[in-house]
A and B are shown apart, each in its own frame.
Chain A
Amino acid sequence: MEASLLSFSQASGILAFMNTPWGWPFVETLHFLGLSLLIGTVGLFDLRLLGLAQHISIHSLHKLVPWGVVGYLMNLITGIMFVSSAPDQYLHNPAFISKLSFMGVAGINMILFYLISWPAGTLDSELRLRHARTGAAVSLFCWLGVIVCGRLITFFRPPWCWFCG
C-alpha cells in the first residue's frame, strides 16, 4: 500500500512538488481553506437545521452546499497529496484513521439525508424535519471530529505506536 502510494506520488509529480520549499505549506493552506469553506456552508446548514439563525430560510442556505462540495474536493485532492507523499506518516496513525472514519460516517450520513429527509428538496413533514435534525447533529459532530483529528495527526506520527504497549 505504502509503496503503491509512493510510486503514484512519484509518477504524478506530486512528490517532487511537495518536496519544494513551498510544497507542504501551500497544500496545507489549501487544505484548511477547503475545510473552512465546508464549515462555512455545510456547517452553517447543519446549525440552521438544529435551530440556529431561524430567520434564514433552509432552502436558501442549502444553495451554499455546492460550495461545501468544492471545499470537500479541495480537501480530498490536497489530502491525497499529503498521504501519497508520506504514507508511512499517515497509514498507521490513529488520528488519521479516526479522521477517515469521521469522513466516512459524514459521507454515509449525507447520503441518508438526501434519501430520507430531503428526497424532494424540501422538509415537508415533522418526521423528515426530525430526521434532518439528527442528520445535522451527526454531520456537525463528524466535521468537528475531522478538524480535531486532522490537527492531532502530528502528535501520533511514527515512531508513536498504539499497539507497542
Chain B
Amino acid sequence: MDLKLVLLAIEEGFLATWVRESDWGFAIALSLHALGMAFAVGISFTIAIRILGIVREIPYITLLSWIALFRLAVLLALFSGMLLLVCYPAKALTNPVFYLKLSLIILGLLQLRYWRSRVLLHGSSASFSGLLGVGLLFCWTGSIAAGRLLAYTYAVLSALQLQDIPLAGDPFFTKSLLFLARGD
C-alpha cells in the first residue's frame, strides 16, 4: 500500500479541503481543540492536586461528578484533533512528537481510569500514592508541551512533499514512515 497516496487522498478530500481553505474552518477547529484540552487537562490537574494531598476537604467520590465533563472535553479535543489531523496528515504522522503526544494522553487516560475504578470500589476511603498525582501532572503537562512542539518540529507540511525529504538526519520514525510512503 502506498501510504503517500492515502495521505494525499485524506489531505485533498472534501472535509480537509473545506476546513483548511474556508475562512473560519481551521480557526474553529483550533479553538475547539484548545477548549477541549483546557478542560481535560484542567480537570486532570484538579484530581492530581487532590491526590497530592492539597485541598483534602474535597472527597474523591464527589470529584467523580466531573468525569462526565472530562469525557466531553476529551471527545471535543479528539473530534477537533481529527479535523486538524486530516487537514495536514503528513505533517503530524511523520513527526515523532505527534506519537509522543498521543502516548502521553493515553497514559494520562489510563491513570484516570485506574483512579476512577479505585474510587468506585472504595468510595471516599480510597487512598492513592503521590506517584499517581505526579504521573497525572507529568502526562498532561507533557501532552501540552508535545502539542505546542508540533508547530515547531514538523518535517513536511503536505503529503506532496514526502518524496522531497532527504532521509539522512531524520528521526528514525520519520525515516520508517517515509520508507513506507515511498513504497520502496
Contact = CB atoms under 8 A, between A and B. Distances in A.
Is chain B's binding surface mostly helix, strand, loop or mixed?
Answer: helix
B34 A56 contact: no
Interface string B119-133: 000000000000000
A71 to B, nearest CB: 9
Interface of A: 24-25, 28-29, 32-33, 35-41, 43-44, 47, 52-57, 59-61, 63-64, 67, 144, 147-148, 150-152, 155
A37 B7 CA distance: 36
Interface stretch (B40-48, B156-164, B169-177): B40-48
B49 interface: yes
A32 B66 CA distance: 21
Given A33-B141, A33-B144, A147-B38, A64 B31 contact: no
15 contacts: A25-B151, A25-B152, A28-B148, A29-B145, A32-B37, A33-B141, A53-B66, A55-B61, A55-B62, A55-B65, A56-B62, A63-B57, A64-B58, A147-B35, A148-B31
B149 interface: yes
Given A28-B148, A60-B58, A64-B55, A39 B39 contact: yes
Contact of A53 (B30, B31, B62): B62
Interface string B5-31: 000000000000000000000010011
Contacts of B152: 24-25
Contacts of B63: 56
Interface centre among A36, A60, A64, by most chain B C-beta atoms within 10 angstroms, is A36
List the 5 shortest-distance A-B pairs measured between CB atoms, nearest first: A40-B42, A53-B65, A39-B42, A36-B41, A60-B57
B24 to A, nearest CB: 9
Given A35-B38, A57-B57, A152 B31 contact: yes
B134 interface: no
Contacts of B145: 25, 29
Contacts of A47: 69
Nearest to B40: A36
A52 B69 contact: yes
Contact of B46 (A33, A41, A147): A41
Nearest to B145: A29
Given A25-B149, A44-B46, A61-B58, A36 B65 contact: no
Given A40-B42, A41-B46, A151-B27, A52 B148 contact: no
A36 B31 contact: no
A40 B57 CA distance: 17
B34 A148 contact: yes
Interface centre among B38, B54, B147, B149, by most chain A C-beta atoms within 10 angstroms, is B38
A145 B158 CA distance: 31
Nearest to A61: B58
Contacts of A28: 148
Contacts of A24: 152
A25 B148 contact: yes
A150 B58 contact: no
Nearest to B24: A155
Contact of B55 (A29, A54, A60, A152): A60
